[in-house]
Each structure stands twice: as structure tokens, then as C-alpha cells.
């Protein structure tokens, strides 16, 4: 039995970005693997048909989010499944940071290797932040290796425009931290 994290999204482009980018990097241990994915808009896989049925079924379509909040899953036709993990953001805010300079160096090496691996596969992350640097929880314990997660803003190098906007009007890049690839020299 393993713990997982379900990420529900309304945006088809975020979902498609994650699935297509993950398909370009199969078995890469520098990136948190996508364990499964579901789309209520597709009917080619049996599990997608089941997900669509569940999101519309009164018995299953409510997610209780605490403090009396209830989220209707009908509004979230896409779901992504990853291993449960601890993010760098959590480590910094809850535990007060990393314990030693050796941990900082190891984190830097892991993130650098992960970015290098992504770029070798022709994938640009597009949303590198402390929330997307994680240590996965497997078998009840936290792994020591830091990995990247969340390729919903990712794109294929040279094939997609990094500053693109989804049909719903949402920017498909982090507006708080811009990747170096977005800085270009404009000529007149």
C-alpha cells in the first residue's frame, strides 16, 4: 500500500502538458513519475470512462476539503496521480530549512541533474519553484533524493512557445518565477 497525491485540474492544456512531457521522459528518476492520469473528456480508456462516471455520480463527486468546504469534482474533469511527497517549500516553512550545508549541496546537485535530464529529453519545466522540488514518500519513508514534479507548465524545447495562454485564459507558465528560457533578446 502506497500513499499518493491526486491533483485535480480544470484546464485541459495543463493536463495534456503533464501527460505529454512525462511520455517524453519515461523512467527518468530525476523527475517524479506520473503514476496514472484520468480525463473525463476522453472515452478511449476504460479508466477514463469510469472517472467520468464517478465525477457525475452523486455518491462520488464530492471532495470534502475541511472547514465545511465541499468541492464538486464535476468541475475538475482531469486528475493526475503522483507518489506522496514532501516539497522543499514544506521543508523550508515547517522545519525551518535544511540541516546542513551538505544537504544544500545535494539538493542543488539533484535539481541541476534533473533540469539537465529534462533538457536532454527536450523538455523545459516552465515552473521551477520550491513547491515543485520534492522528496517522494515510498514504503512509508521519505527518499533522500530531491526530484522535480509538476510538468503542467512544461513544454517541448523548440516546439512550443513558453509564454502561451490556455484557452481558459490561464498563463501556462509561472508568473512568479520566469524560467531563463523566457528571456529573449528582441530585435527591432
C-alpha cell recorded at residue 79: 486528475
Question: Please, what sign has the CA dihedral across residues 53, 57, 59, 63?
Answer: positive
pLDDT tens, position by position, 129-178: 899 999 987 777 788 889 999 988 877 776 555 566 677 777 666 656 65
Of 97, 127, 87, 119, the residue nearest 5 (C-alpha): 87
- pLDDT for residue 111 is more than 90: yes
Over residues 13-34, mean pLDDT? 89
Scanning the structure block, which residue is given the C-alpha cell 485540474? 9
Q: Which residue has the higher pLDDT, 184 or 112?
A: 112
Rounded Cα distance between 154 and 63, Å, is 28
- Residue 145, classed as helix, strand or coil, is coil
pTM: 0.79
Amino acid at each position: 500500500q502506497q500513499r499518493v497525491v491526486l491533483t485535480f485540474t480544470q484546464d485541459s492544456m495543463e493536463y495534456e502538458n503533464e501527460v505529454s512531457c512525462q511520455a517524453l521522459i519515461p523512467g527518468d528518476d530525476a523527475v517524479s513519475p506520473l503514476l496514472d492520469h484520468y480525463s473525463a473528456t476522453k472515452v478511449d480508456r476504460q479508466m477514463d470512462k469510469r472517472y467520468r462516471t464517478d465525477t457525475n455520480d452523486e455518491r462520488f463527486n464530492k471532495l470534502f476539503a475541511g472547514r465545511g468546504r465541499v468541492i464538486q469534482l464535476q468541475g475538475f474533469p482531469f486528475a493526475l496521480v503522483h507518489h506522496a511527497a514532501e516539497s522543499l517549500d514544506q521543508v523550508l516553512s515547517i522545519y525551518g530549512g535544511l540541516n546542513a550545508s551538505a544537504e544544500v549541496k545535494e539538493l542543488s546537485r539533484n535539481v541541476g541533474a534533473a533540469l539537465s535530464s529534462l533538457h536532454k529529453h527536450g523538455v523545459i519545466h516552465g515552473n521551477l519553484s520550491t513547491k515543485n522540488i520534492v522528496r517522494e514518500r515510498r514504503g512509508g519513508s521519505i527518499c533522500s533524493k530531491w526530484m522535480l514534479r509538476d510538468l503542467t507548465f512544461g513544454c517541448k524545447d523548440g516546439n512550443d512557445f513558453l509564454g502561451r495562454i490556455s484557452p481558459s485564459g490561464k498563463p501556462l507558465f509561472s508568473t512568479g518565477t520566469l524560467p531563463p528560457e523566457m528571456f529573449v533578446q528582441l530585435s527591432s
